Structure 1
Amino acid sequence: MDETIKATFERVFSEVEKAVVGKRRVVERLLVALLSGGHVLIEDFPGMAKTLLASSFAKALDLEFKRVQFTPDLLPSDITGSHVYDMHSSTFRFRRGPIFTNILLADEINRAPPKTQSALLEAMQERQVTVDGVTFALEEPFMVIATLNPIEFEGTYPLPEAQMDRFMLKVRMGYPSKEEEILILRRRLQRGTDKPSIEKVLSKSDVLSMIRKVEEVYVDDAVLSYIAEICRATRSVRDVEVGVSPRGTEALMKASRALAFIRGRDFVLPDDVKEVAVEVLAHRIVLRTESLVRGVSPEDIVRRVLDEVEVPRSVGASR
């Protein structure tokens, strides 16, 4: 594959890191989701620069960005839009909501009640919204980046399982190291403003072209079998009430293809699958109550499965 593609993504990482230090892995996962038609759920504590990360990512790719702050009184129409009466024409016209964008940041999504959270479901899956019986298509590319406060925080609602399953990846940012935190302070002093300057690396047409190229990334039959075995294995673990769905199996394949493309390859390796497996699969697993009491986590289940499923020894690099 052309090395210029790999170099281009390095420039994207560099631009976003002007604003958010030390989060290359998270930026890479955002790219994985965008290039494979998925959505990302970011779970972490307040003040971890989740909003800044999302807006900087959109700027580097020259994509339209909108943010919705989810609150207990947020209505579905506040997201999708609604029909309003135009007194001049004596007709109702549709006023588009913030979901009509390329990258939508659903900030603190678990602070809104389930009815409002579910307003995103159709858009995330079908790339369209229906208001008052009328369907409106969303512009491509379209990706939801939702931020999630840990469930123990007051005033939060759990996300419905159906909505969790529609996020391709769930990632955590984590606290920066001491060196990274010092660098954050130093860069803030140097630029003299809270708003970092992010330069455009790609255009919207470039992104759409790359999305099409990801569909050309080759996946060997041995890798397909490996992906299926991993997902099927989650359904037979004693600690698991509900394992990974077929949607999750497909998401793992799509994420692996996108990661291979970002790394400059036109074929998928088992290592690509292993690298994204926890972030693609763990949030789709429902554990038994007794397993939760024992401190078992969905991430533990995926790692255990990865250790047990045999890795293909020989993988083809072309059709």
Structure 2
Amino acid sequence: MNSTHEVIDLVEFRDTASAIVDEIGKVIVGQNDVIRHVLLGILSNGHVLLEGVPGLGKTILIRALGRALALDFSRIQFTPDLMPADITGTEILEDRTGGGRTFRFQPGPLFANLVLADEINRATPKTQSALLEAMQERTVTAANTTYSLPSPFFVMATQNPIEQEGTYPLPEAQLDRFLFKVNVPFPSTADIRDILNRTTSDHEPELVPVATGEQLMAMQLLARRVPVPSLVTDFVSRLISASHPGQSASTLVNSFIRYGASPRGAQSIVLGAKALALVEGRYNVSFDDIFVVAPAALRHRLLLNFEGQAEGISPDAIIADLLRVVPREI
């Protein structure tokens, strides 16, 4: 077992990442791109938002991730009546051994390494703001006292894009705290057949932990040490600037974007690209790595204007146009 002060080598990083994917693959059919981006989010020490219609296995995927990692796992079902104290914890009054009473903080489900926030957009803004502090600061404040969350700490959230009644769209500030937003596509006919074969029999696959929290933190440390050529960082900087109207050569950006990506988007791209390079057994970041992670890092950070919403413009189409028009070198 690696301590948090040790750095694992490239081969161990790649083998451990592959083992995690293999374990998740025991219960998830297809969705290889989704699994890869969720893993990259974990290895980048970031939070991931999964969006897809019901029944595509979003919750099962995150549960499988929790079982493949030797981490404390917690699931929160977000509902309109969920209060901040329901997720952060609250002060409770208890009797002392020698007499009298005292208040003691009872930690909520946020005090875990891996937190599944199921249907996150069904919670009220008040509860979402409590989650925002946990995601950004890795702390929880209750009764004027701040408590540190365990390390590592990840929020894996799901939301349904087609359900509107009883939902509260996530504020831009909270969306920006997610490293990636991953769209979960509908499975192919062949995948549906495999799903039926796996889930309608009496066989249930057994998942075993293949990585510890200490290993994950060592992998995160190694990922941050991956060098990035200046040409690549310059390209990412131009990409983020070009996502803003008035500063872009993209007709789609100038026509349909109200506000572009923040510098946090650039950080997400670079961190994800570093993790991807190591997963593929390379100790350097290429332009191809940027092109792979850029859609997941930017699609929730581009705010469409009224025309873009009316035309039904996809953020992915705008990102594809940006990647096409922004020069790799100047």
Question: 1:46-125, aligned counterparts within 5 Å?
Answer: 46-88=54-96, 90-125=101-136
2:182 maps to 171
The alignment status of 1:235 with 2:244, answered yes or no, reads yes
2:267 maps to 250
Per-residue deviation, 1:117? 1.2
2:228 maps to 219
* TM-score, normalised relative to structure 1: 0.93
Q: Which moved more, 1:256-265 or 1:274-283?
A: 256-265
What CA distance in whole angstroms lies between the structure 1 residues aligned with 2:307 and 2:162? 19
Partner SS, residue 234 of structure 1: coil
Residue 250 of structure 1 aligns with an amino acid whose one-letter code is Q
Per-residue deviation, 1:168? 0.8
1:210 maps to 219
Cα gap change, 1:215/1:191 in structure 2, threshold over 3 Å: closer, same or farther? farther
Runs of 5+ unmatched residues, structure 2 = 1-8, 246-252
1:317 maps to none
Residue 238 of structure 2 aligns with an amino acid whose one-letter code is E
Partner SS, residue 284 of structure 1: coil
Question: 1:1-319, aligned counterparts within 5 Å?
Answer: 2-88=10-96, 90-193=101-204, 196-236=205-245, 237-238=253-254, 239-312=256-329
Q: Which moved more, 1:275-284 or 1:22-31?
A: 22-31
Q: Render the CA deviation track for 1:199-247: whole Å, top value 9, x for unaligned.
A: 1111221111111111111111111101101111001331211111111
Instruction: Assess if the C-alpha contact under 8 Å between 2:239 and 2:323 holds in 1.
Output: yes
What CA distance in whole angstroms lies between the structure 2 residues aligned with 1:99 and 1:183? 35
Instruction: Assess if the C-alpha contact under 8 Å between 2:13 and 2:219 holds in 1.
Output: no
What CA distance in whole angstroms lies between the structure 1 residues aligned with 2:90 and 2:151? 21
Residue 202 of structure 1 aligns with an amino acid whose one-letter code is A
Q: Render the CA deviation track for 1:253-301: whole Å, top value 9, x for unaligned.
A: 1111111122221111111111111110111111110122122222221
Residue 106 of structure 1 aligns with an amino acid whose one-letter code is A
What CA distance in whole angstroms lies between the structure 2 residues aligned with 1:268 and 1:297? 28
Residue 168 of structure 2 aligns with an amino acid whose one-letter code is Y
What CA distance in whole angstroms lies between the structure 1 residues aligned with 2:23 and 2:130? 32
Residue 200 of structure 1 aligns with an amino acid whose one-letter code is P
What CA distance in whole angstroms lies between the structure 2 residues aligned with 1:233 and 1:124? 28
Residue 67 of structure 2 aligns with an amino acid whose one-letter code is K
Per-residue deviation, 1:152? 4.2
Residue 98 of structure 1 aligns with an amino acid whose one-letter code is P
What CA distance in whole angstroms lies between the structure 2 residues aligned with 1:87 and 1:8? 47
* TM-score, normalised relative to structure 2: 0.90
What CA distance in whole angstroms lies between the structure 2 residues aligned with 1:142 and 1:264? 25
| Identity %, equivalent residues | 42
What CA distance in whole angstroms lies between the structure 2 residues aligned with 1:129 and 1:17? 34
Q: Which moved more, 1:222-231 or 1:151-160?
A: 151-160
Partner SS, residue 116 of structure 2: strand
What CA distance in whole angstroms lies between the structure 2 residues aligned with 1:266 and 1:96? 40
Q: Which moved more, 1:102-111 or 1:82-91?
A: 82-91
Instruction: Assess if the C-alpha contact under 8 Å between 2:10 and 2:283 holds in 1.
Output: no
What CA distance in whole angstroms lies between the structure 2 residues aligned with 1:146 and 1:227? 26
For these two proteins, the number of residue pairs brought into alignment is: 311
Instruction: Assess if the C-alpha contact under 8 Å between 1:151 and 1:158 holds in 2.
Output: no
Partner SS, residue 168 of structure 1: strand
What CA distance in whole angstroms lies between the structure 1 residues aligned with 2:263 and 2:289? 19
Instruction: Assess if the C-alpha contact under 8 Å between 2:71 and 2:212 holds in 1.
Output: yes
What CA distance in whole angstroms lies between the structure 2 residues aligned with 1:93 and 1:278? 45
What CA distance in whole angstroms lies between the structure 1 residues aligned with 2:34 and 2:151? 22
Q: Render the CA deviation track for 1:96-134: whole Å, top value 9, x for unaligned.
A: 000011110000011111111111111111111111111
Partner SS, residue 110 of structure 2: coil
Residue 63 of structure 1 aligns with an amino acid whose one-letter code is L
What CA distance in whole angstroms lies between the structure 2 residues aligned with 1:102 and 1:166? 17
Instruction: Assess if the C-alpha contact under 8 Å between 1:151 and 1:157 holds in 2.
Output: no
Residue 297 of structure 2 aligns with an amino acid whose one-letter code is V
